[in-house]
Amino acid sequence: MQKNTTKAKLKAGETVYGSFVRYPDPGLIEFLGYQGWDFLVFDAEHGTVEPRDCENMTRAAELRGVTPIVRVTTNQQPIILRFLDTGAQGLLVPWVQTAAEAEAAVRSVKYQPLGIRGLAGVRAADYGQTQSLGEYTKQANAETLVVLQIETARAVDHLPEILKVGGIDVVFIGPSDLSQSLGLPGQAQHPEVQAAMQRIADAVVPTDVALGLMVRDVETARAWRQKGARFIAVSIESVLGPAVKNYLQQAKE
């Protein structure tokens, strides 16, 4: 198991930058690995990524030392197990709304004595070829990154209790679903949504848990970095779309 450089940077107080990718293409991940991302999130929730895809995408990320993280479809132990067994070094769990749900997510990620993750000589454990499974479980418990997504009004209300759960590395704001939960779908810049996001930041930044969120552009990334966010992600479409449009506009002038 490789060292989780993203987790190490966060623990050192640094800010890390990554991109969400919903397309199950290892070649794309390998290419993105050359661009300098700290981490890449393979989006199985809003993309078509399956465990087999995740395994090959993880291999591609490892080639360039980029931390592979997977956003699973739901907070269920059997689903989390299958995606983590591919070798992904981090898990992003959507729709965490209570401390109990946060505890369930952490238990699904961690091996005994910290959790209930099933153990086997799979790819995540180097197929049992480089160390004993007992040694691997200790390393995995230390290296695997746990990211919980806060994206509902209920989750915001329960955040103080969620933050008391051990084993959480990042609390990640999902602006789009948060806007829906507040009755303002698609209006992430609405004052009520921004106020809820600020409530999250105010609760998380003073703790040892890193604040993360999805941004839409450089300006938003800079603004939230100033507010204390240290796990900053953008969709690959948000980067690619403007770049292509800008190229075509200038090429046609």
Task: Map out the domains of the chain as residue ranges.
Answer: 5-251
Contacts (Cβ under 8 Å, ≥6 apart) of 237 = none
103: left (phi over 0), alpha (psi -120 to 50) or beta: alpha
Tens of each residue's pLDDT in the chain, 253 residues: 889 999 999 999 999 999 999 999 999 999 999 999 999 999 999 999 999 999 999 999 999 999 999 999 999 999 999 999 999 999 999 999 999 999 999 999 999 999 999 999 999 999 999 999 999 999 999 999 999 999 999 999 999 999 999 999 999 999 999 999 999 999 999 999 999 999 999 999 999 999 999 999 999 999 999 999 999 999 999 999 999 999 999 999 9
> If you ran DSSP here, which 8-state letter would residue 210 be given?
E
Bridging pattern class, strands 229-235 and 90-93: unpaired
CATH class of 5-251: alpha beta
pLDDT attached to residue 136: 97
**Residue type for 18, please?**
G
Q: How many residues does the chain have?
A: 253
CA distance 12 to 169: 12
pLDDT attached to residue 1: 82
β-sheet bridge partners, residue 213: 173, 232
pLDDT attached to residue 34: 97
Over the stretch 127-147, which tens digit does the pLDDT of each residue have?
999 999 999 999 999 999 999
Catalytic residues: 46
Question: What global pTM score does this model have?
Answer: 0.96
